[in-house]
Amino acid sequence: MSRLLDDLNDAQREAVQTTEGPLLIIAGAGSGKTRVLTRRLAYILTRRLAQPHEILAVTFTNKAAGEMKERVAALLGGAMMDMNVSTFHSFCARFLRREGGAIGYGGDFTIFDAADSETLMKSCIKALNLPVSQFAPKAQLRKVSNAKNRFQSAEGFARSAGGYFEQRTAQLYSLYQARLRECNAMDFDDLLLNTVALLQQHSEIGERYRSRFRYLLVDEYQDTNHVQYLLLKSLVGPHRNICVVGDEDQSIYGWRGADIRNILDFEHDFPGAKVIKLEMNYRSTDVILAAASAVIAHNVARKDKVLRTTRRGGEKISLLLVDSAEEEAERVIDLVVRDRSRTPLSEMVILYRTNAQSRAFEEQLRRRAIPYQIVGGISFYQRKEIKDLLAYLKLIVNPKDDISFGRIVNYPKRGLGDKSLADLGELTAREGKSLYETATLPDPDLSGLGARAVRQLRSFTALIERYREQQDAVSTDLLVGDLIRDLGLLEAIRAEEEEIVAATRIENLEAFIGGVADYTRHRPHATLAEYLAEISLFTDIDEYNESEDKLALMSVHSAKGLEFDTVFIVGLEEGLFPLARTVGEEMELEEERRLFYVGSTRARHKLYLASATARFRFGQSVSIPSRFIKEVPDHLIERTDFRTNRHYELVSAGDRPATARDLPLGRLPAEEGVHYEYEEEEALRVGRLVRHPTFGRGKVLKVEGRGESLMLEIHFQGLGVKRVMAKYARLTVIG
């Protein structure tokens, strides 16, 4: 018992030993929250307060869940197979496979990834004859996802929909859900929404799970959304033993529905809750922590805490001021090369606000033959050859999966033409069956497709049926290997692709087989359905291999939960970091500041910041440094200025000189013009005459958005209509 507590500080020890009632642990960056969580789990089990199966611990990544389980097993000297440690989505997927029949789902349901969901939404948009230009599939999926995160059903969304576009979105939401059901499929959001709905609507099931889980532990509570909050509330039993760990200063997922109020209001939601603050940072130097703390102090929506560190002193933060994105990449990689002798590549990371920023760095790294890995690019499981193979496996498990059927029915090529497949689709609609069920109808029912098409469909469905019969009798790795051979996938790839591309794709398939074999080795009794459920919930960060000596490139969001000796945060300019759409929106700006805080506190020893004067985004060529740089105390920064033009000095929102924004518009000389950044929106209303430095005279036809996100449609003489972002267009109002 003592070894569980000996190396903990007082606050950590108190958090471990407080086992009864609701508990909020405010865990500052680098304060050892994972250690506290694992020790708390081990403490509960050692004290025999609960059996392993009576504990539910949830977090956001498979990586974090796996690490937590391994640490507890190491502390207790054995595997903890019965302990429920998983992501929210993994827990819900397992729950629904057992209990989903109560809401009409079979246990073999498919989990649609983002690509599958987009394909399905496209078919819904087409079915309703809506223009894709106005109803983009990804945009509609975002609206549906936001509704689900609010625990709003398609019916509920329809009742509140106002105006033409919302009403059409409501129709799409309803049709999308209906087709998901027809496919016996759920998307990621459905896993959460359906679990909560089932727990709320079926009291006997809810009571069973509330009685089962004596202890609930939640990691990264600041990132939970409303439906995750409802899930936890639905699982808390009369004992009220819920422990949540988080840090409101690291809440960075508001854009995907995370609600910072969940952690800020915990004491209100769970009366009598105890609050323990972990304020000792064991990761970063005093300099890095002081800089990050000074920046985050500008936020209002936060709890009072003062982080301290055991690592006094440290190098100053290096600020690189450069002329362009290309020079930024060159200077940063120069430093990587210089520091490589003392710091392994695996202990360095380049963090950016948007994934598109990786291009310049990749060019430099390839030119200098420096090994690197990108987190957040094309996921391994989204590569064509892997998606094709997965579609076969999904159809074997769930023959109602029309998306998978459509992807592979003619791959490898079977001679099924577009007309035959269109005829099959029409017959499917008339029969009210899935595509696969229709393909298995008696020959007379398929006569309209032509004899050759029917033969090919029979061959295809026979193959699927053969593997459906084998899926529970043969280990998953053997089944996958046999399927690849039977399909002739390797031969098909060699025939279709040039040599180098084919070799890469075949290597990916071999890596997939290796992954399946590894999974089977660790879980010999797992079914194909269980394997598919697990990999469908992989995130970008789950694919990150920190053991390889490669420089990591990733977004700041992806870096959450990681730490490195050296961190480069690049692209620190107004409009990029913070993003333009967040400026003027206090809550969104605070989240951008929290994102900077998260990025900064990933660093153990050295933090670099970089800002470029010129960065071409949406037509912008000139930038000013981010306000977050200004918020770092000067004595903590060492500047290196490579700029040839130093006109643009460091400014923040609070200390700009008086500009056109401060003056009545009528006093502005029209011919001199005003950059929109300092201009009232009223100046750019519909009907205004403007002059653009490149396009000349034009008339404003349409205005969208507001503030620094204002978009304009302008008709320019001789050029037609162009769409520009007002902030960057350098427009002159002339009438």
Q: Which amino acids are annotated catalytic?
A: 33-34, 219-220, 250, 602
Q: For the chain, what's the residue count?
A: 735
**Is-contact 54 241, C-beta < 8 A?**
no
Using DSSP, state whether 618 is helix, strand or coil: coil
CA dist 104 and 688 (Å) reads 57
Give me the DSSP letters along 5-27: HTT--HHHHHHHH--SS-EEEEE
User: Which ranges in 8-136 belong to alpha helices (H)?
Assistant: 10-17, 33-46, 62-76, 88-99, 114-127
**Is-contact 349 551, C-beta < 8 A?**
yes
Name residues whose C-beta falls within 8 Å of residue 482's C-beta, 6 or more positions apart in sequence: 474
Cis peptide before 664 (omega within 30 of 0): no
Phi, psi of 540 (to 5 degrees): -55, -45
Name residues whose C-beta falls within 8 Å of residue 212's C-beta, 6 or more positions apart in sequence: 53, 54
**Is-contact 567 30, C-beta < 8 A?**
no
Give, as one character, the DSSP assignment of residue 620. Answer: B
CA dist 112 and 387 (Å) reads 12
**Is-contact 570 354, C-beta < 8 A?**
no
Q: Give Cα separations from 642 to 367, 572, 680 (angstroms).
A: 22, 15, 34
**CA terminus-to-terminus distance, the chain:** 79
Classify residue 357 by burial, with Cβ atoms within 10 Å: 0-12, 13-18, 19+. buried
Residue 201, sorted as left (phi over 0), alpha (psi -120 to 50) or beta, turns out to be alpha
Instruction: List the structure tokens of 560.
Output: 């959450």
Phi, psi of 536 (to 5 degrees): -65, -20
CB atoms within 10 A of CB 303: 13
Distance from CA of residue 298 to its chain's centroid?
26
Give, as one character, the DSSP assignment of residue 651. Answer: -
Distance from CA of residue 109 to its chain's centroid?
23
Give, as one character, the DSSP assignment of residue 248. Answer: G
Instruction: List the structure tokens of 361.
Output: 């760095």
Tell me the residue type at 428: T
Cα angle vertex 297, ends 294, 300, to 5°? 165
Greatest Cα-to-Cα distance within the chain, rounded to the nearest angstrom: 84
Using DSSP, state whether 224 is helix, strand or coil: coil
CA dist 93 and 87 (Å) reads 10
**Is-contact 217 41, C-beta < 8 A?**
yes
Tell me the residue type at 60: F
Using DSSP, state whether 291 is helix, strand or coil: helix
